[in-house]
Copies of this chain bind each other. A is one copy, B any other.
Amino acid sequence: MLESTMQDAPLSIRSVFDYGRRVFANSQVITFEGEGCRKASFAEVGARAEKLAAALQKLGVRPGDRVGTFQWNNQEHLEAYFAVPCMGAVLHTLNIRLFPEQLAYVINHAEDDVILVDASLVPLLAKVVDDLEKRPTFILVGEGDASALGEVLHYEELLAAESGGFDWPEIEERQAAAMCYTSGTTGNPKGVVYSHRSSVLHAMAATSMATFGLSQVDRALMIVPMFHANAWGLPHATWQAGADIILPEKFLQAEPLCRLIAEEKPTFSGAVPTVWNDILRYAENNPVDLSSLRMVVCGGSAVPRSLMEALDEKHGVRMIQAWGMTETSPLAAVAHPPRGADSSNEMDWRTRTGRLSAGVEMRIVDDEGKVLPWDGESVGEIQVRGPWITGSYYKDPSDDKFQDGWLRTGDVAHVDALGFIQITDRAKDVIKSGGEWISSVELENEIMAHPDVVEAAVVGVPDERWDERPMACVVLAEGSSASLNDLFEFLAARVAKWWLPERWTFIDEVPKTSVGKFDKKVLRAQHEKGELKVEAAG
């Protein structure tokens, strides 16, 4: 085989770090403080990250060691995002919304040596401190009472003791850079370990026009948490692109977010649908100005068409749906309409789950393991592979999650000839009625299009005649007078007759997992125990 003459330069987060802090020295990192913001240039953040690396090394952190973060989206968290991987250690972003037993599990499983913790999050972390097998060194970020954690070091004191300069080690591109645990609804969380290589490739992919198109003229409001799948890779991508980075800290409610948007005028943002739903509802009674946003990426769960339409029509904000998961770094598909789409049909494209991104290979596979065609009809599990897709879990066999080198995503979908994916269900939420599949996701979207419905979850429940039938669990808006019959008639006009649920129940809230996804397992269990008041319709 003929070898190339190309240099064997490793793909390393350090290259991204060095490039951004030098070439985009003047770009800004802006952290919201509720009233006003604190700001630092990329050059300043870069210098502080260098001091953090030096301080961590003095604390004994060595290449391969895990450094946990228990932090909001803020400047110090970003500093750790670069300092820890570039010194050869592994950034372990801890999900602050995990249930305590899960949190203790992941800290113990990853064997974190150090944990950076925001002062405002000390009470949450303190809940698990007695369950840790090995006591990490805690570094307190910000001011506050940390006595519940025992002895702590102070972030700013550590940095102040450093004079700058750090002898960065050589990086091998396949070595671990960061890790993140998935929070499945069943079993223990599973760790995904990103490499320098996968992180750099993902950052390159995220600056492409086919995905987020980030550039130095952007100001990116990063609402998606930095503890959740690398905040969709945005920290690396924005830094490399030179986009200003706007971090909302703990101020994630509609009112402060709208103030932040009006003040700092982001051009780009990323968040789950719930956030934008809240903002839309807030905007109904308050003046808001979202006009600076050229593009908003939404993912994490299916995005209702009604949400996209309302943002478009009322606020001129273009929302683009994207799909991925912790295991896919997460970028795997983005629903930009294809060429030739026009205003009459582009919403039909934007409401798809996404179009397969370059760099990711995909197939859909049926129950028997047969690969299905991309015909827009055949429904099977999505399987993916590629350089930023995980091939295993950290110290966890989980062989059933992989098939012939492909990751089984657990999402069930059809794909059209041009790579547009439409997810119809999670594999475990699939409803099979009389041998035919009914999409719970599509039913939910159609029910949520009703103006009086805040949330709706559809689950499969046992049925004597059809084996399984959909049951609709609906949260009505406060003060709504919509009747069951109203909703049924509304839905009957929008989906096939045999899809229409005969069973309906009104609930106060859809149960959620620790990362805010619908937890249908809870609904199915409640139904099984007879805890839900089910009404008949149709």
Residue pair A23, B204 in contact (C-beta under 8 Å): no
Chain B binder among A173-181, A449-457, A496-504: A173-181
Q: A437 on the interface (CB 8 Å rule)?
A: no
Residue pair A418, B23 in contact (C-beta under 8 Å): yes
Residue pair B7, A193 in contact (C-beta under 8 Å): no
- Closest B-chain residue to A175, C-beta based? B1
Chain A 196-252 residues near chain B, CB threshold 8 A: 197-198, 201, 204-205, 207-210, 213-217, 240-242
Residue pair B4, A193 in contact (C-beta under 8 Å): yes
Contacts of A242 in B (CB 8 A): 210, 339
Q: A405 on the interface (CB 8 Å rule)?
A: yes
Residues of A in contact, count (CB < 8 Å)? 77
- Closest B-chain residue to A384, C-beta based? B7
Residue pair B205, A213 in contact (C-beta under 8 Å): no
Residue pair B394, A5 in contact (C-beta under 8 Å): yes
Centre residue among A6, A194, A213, A355 by max chain B CB count within 10 A: A6
Q: Give the CA-CA distance A388 to B7 in the complex, in Å.
A: 7
Residue pair B6, A388 in contact (C-beta under 8 Å): yes
Centre residue among A9, A374, A419 by max chain B CB count within 10 A: A9
Residue pair A387, B9 in contact (C-beta under 8 Å): yes
Q: Give the CA-CA distance A356 to B24 in the complex, in Å.
A: 11
Chain A 314-358, CB-CB to B under 8 Å as 1, else 0, gives: 000000000000000000000010110000000000000001101
Chain B binder among A14-22, A481-489, A508-516: A14-22
Q: A209 is contacted by which of B4, B175, B241 (Cβ under 8 Å)?
A: B241
Centre residue among A64, A192, A209, A355 by max chain B CB count within 10 A: A209
Given contacts A176-B4, A193-B3, A193-B5, contact A15 B209 (CB under 8 A): no
Q: A308 on the interface (CB 8 Å rule)?
A: no
> Which 6 residue pairs are nearest across A and B when measured between Cβ atoms?
A4-B195, A209-B215, A7-B391, A23-B419, A2-B176, A2-B64
Mind listing 9 A-B residue pairs with CB under 8 Å? Answer: A1-B64, A2-B66, A2-B175, A3-B175, A15-B361, A22-B419, A23-B356, A210-B242, A216-B339
Known: A3-B175, A213-B213. 10 other contacts (CB 8 A): A1-B63, A3-B176, A6-B387, A7-B386, A8-B391, A9-B385, A10-B387, A16-B358, A23-B419, A210-B241
Which A residues are within 8 Å of any B CB, using their own CB? Answer: 1-11, 15-16, 18-19, 22-27, 63-64, 66, 88, 90, 172, 174-177, 191-195, 197-198, 201, 204-205, 207-210, 213-217, 240-242, 336, 338-339, 355-356, 358-359, 361, 374, 385-394, 405, 407, 417-419
